[in-house]
């Protein structure tokens, strides 16, 4: 069955909607920059054991994903639709009529009172994996990272969502999609090679 996504679905599952997520205990985050939106790259959480020859690239990609996520999250918290759309996965942009139409939808939606966060941090990267074909060629890199949010009207209301990241050109262009609560079959329709991340992550459970 062909996957069809309307903006109403995107609004519920792709944007960081206040009613989504699971409450979790907050772990400390140390950083000298904007503590409301920035997470640091925690090298202790990087899995480089899968392919030894790619271990250095995995660290570089982890840092690239985190840097992009920091900008993405800061733009989102500041209701900057241009930054949000810049990092939105091309499949979502295409399903909503292209860049201009998607921008026209996202802008007003982000200005709604629902989107008031006292603090929002994306990361650190939980898992980063290359998509490797049978011949050993890397077709792209993918990551899984948490999004932690505190609401303005209730700072004790702490919630977690999960973000999938993708780059097909070693970090030059990076895109994200919120996969919280989305069945893995639908995730794979949007990002087929994300199974490289999911297979490793599910194997740990």
Which of the two residues, 50 and 136, has the higher pLDDT score? 136
The CA-atom distances, in angstroms, between 25 and each of 63, 72, 83, 153, 157 are: 25, 24, 29, 19, 10
Q: DSSP H helical segments within 78-178, as ranges?
A: 81-87, 90-95, 99-110
Residue 147 lies in a domain: yes
Q: Is the pLDDT of residue 28 over 70?
A: no
Which of 125, 134, 132 is CA-nearest to residue 174?
125
> What's the chain's average pLDDT?
75
Number of domains in the chain: 1
Q: What is the pLDDT of residues 89-148, one digit of tens each?
A: 998 898 888 888 888 888 888 877 555 677 888 889 999 999 988 888 899 999 999 998
pLDDT at 21 over 80: no
Stronger pLDDT, 110 or 13, i.e. the higher one? 110
On whether residue 44 sits in a domain, the answer given is yes
> Domain range for residue 54?
33-203
Say what the pLDDT of residue 50 is.
52
Residue 9 included in any domain: no
Find, among 73, 64, 187, the residue nearest to 130 by Cα: 64
């Amino acid at each position: 069955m062909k996957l069809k996504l309307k903006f109403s679905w995107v609004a519920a599952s792709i944007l960081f909607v206040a009613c989504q997520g699971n409450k979790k205990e907050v772990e400390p985050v140390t950083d000298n920059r904007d503590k409301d939106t920035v997470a640091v790259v925690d090298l202790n959480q990087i899995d480089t054991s899968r392919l030894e020859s790619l271990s250095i690239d995995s660290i570089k990609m982890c840092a690239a994903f985190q840097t992009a996520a920091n900008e993405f999250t800061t733009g989102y918290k500041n209701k900057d639709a241009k930054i949000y759309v810049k990092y939105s996965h091309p499949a979502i942009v295409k399903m909503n009529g292209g860049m201009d139409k998607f921008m026209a939808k996202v802008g007003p939606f982000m200005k709604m009172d629902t989107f008031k966060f006292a603090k929002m941090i994306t990361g650190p990267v939980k898992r980063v994996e290359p998509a490797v074909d049978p011949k050993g060629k890397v077709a792209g890199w993918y990551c899984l990272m948490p999004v932690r949010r505190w609401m303005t009207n209730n700072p004790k209301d702490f919630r977690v969502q999960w973000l999938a990241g993708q780059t097909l050109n070693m970090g030059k262009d990076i895109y994200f999609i919120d996969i919280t609560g989305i069945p893995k079959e639908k995730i794979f329709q949007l990002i087929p090679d994300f199974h490289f991340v999911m297979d490793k992550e599910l194997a740990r459970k």
